[in-house]
Chains A and B, each alone.
Chain A
């Protein structure tokens, strides 16, 4: 069984540029999470979905970040105008309901 996959693995941007991250969860998992992990810190939740519905996006910087999961499977996280403070690893995870979460390899973002 394939795990959670993410792309790209790395991204380097200038401030002000836009970037999108893509996540493919484990097949059959209805819940999908996006976390941000700054260097040398634990991950922090940005947003999570059950099927195609956003359950909690209260920690997503709504002025520049957006996330969608239109068919309840794959998901895209987008940063409209990146800032240096966005430098971090972006992790996607999935689970079947309220259960163990499985994480993808992450996308390491550097904003110059």
Chain B
């Protein structure tokens, strides 16, 4: 089965609403990253989050390694937040990243 389960697959918000994106991991992990990607664009690292909570502006990431889960909270969404958010885990004993399928976020005016 898939090692990284990401939800929801897609999400449509009105500008100003909050969003909560989830990732669950089926194996033990050293760390994880959240990425943002526009269509046809490169992967932009949003958070590198081995464990705990990190905040950057309107974005907050919380990772609980023991429970194999991570979330990304977007507050007061803006149209420019639209795009795909991908989570990725670094499995224990490996340096590679294993990615989820992504959440496609659309923020409407």
Are chains A and B native binding partners rather than an unrelated pairing?
yes
Q: Which residues of the other chain, A, contact B86 by a CB distance below 8 angstroms?
A: 42-43
| A103 adjacent to B43 (CB under 8 Å) | yes
Q: Which residues of the other chain, A, contact B88 by a CB distance below 8 angstroms?
A: 42-43
Q: For chain A, what secondary structure do more than half of its interface residues adopt (helix, strand, loop), or is it mixed?
A: strand
Size category of the B interface is 20 to 34
| A43 adjacent to B95 (CB under 8 Å) | no
Q: A103 and B42 in contact (CB under 8 A), knowing A41-B101, A42-B86?
A: yes
User: B75 contacts the other chain (Cβ, under 8 Å)?
Assistant: no
| A108 adjacent to B45 (CB under 8 Å) | no
User: B97 contacts the other chain (Cβ, under 8 Å)?
Assistant: yes
A48 to B90 alpha-carbon distance, docked (Å): 13
A93 to B101 alpha-carbon distance, docked (Å): 18
Min CB gap A32→B, angstroms: 11
| B95 adjacent to A44 (CB under 8 Å) | no
User: A1 contacts the other chain (Cβ, under 8 Å)?
Assistant: no
- Of A17-25, A60-68, A79-87, A94-102, the stretch lying at the interface with chain B is A94-102
Count of chain A residues with a beta carbon within 8 Å of a chain B beta carbon: 25
Residue of A31, A44, A91, A101 touching B45 (CB-CB under 8 A)? A101
Q: A42 and B96 in contact (CB under 8 A), knowing A98-B90, A106-B42, A108-B40?
A: no
Q: Which residues of A contact B (CB under 8 A)?
A: 31, 33, 35, 41-45, 48, 50, 55-56, 91, 93, 95, 98-106, 108
Q: Which residues of B contact A (CB under 8 A)?
A: 4, 30, 33, 35, 40-45, 48, 86, 88, 90, 94-102
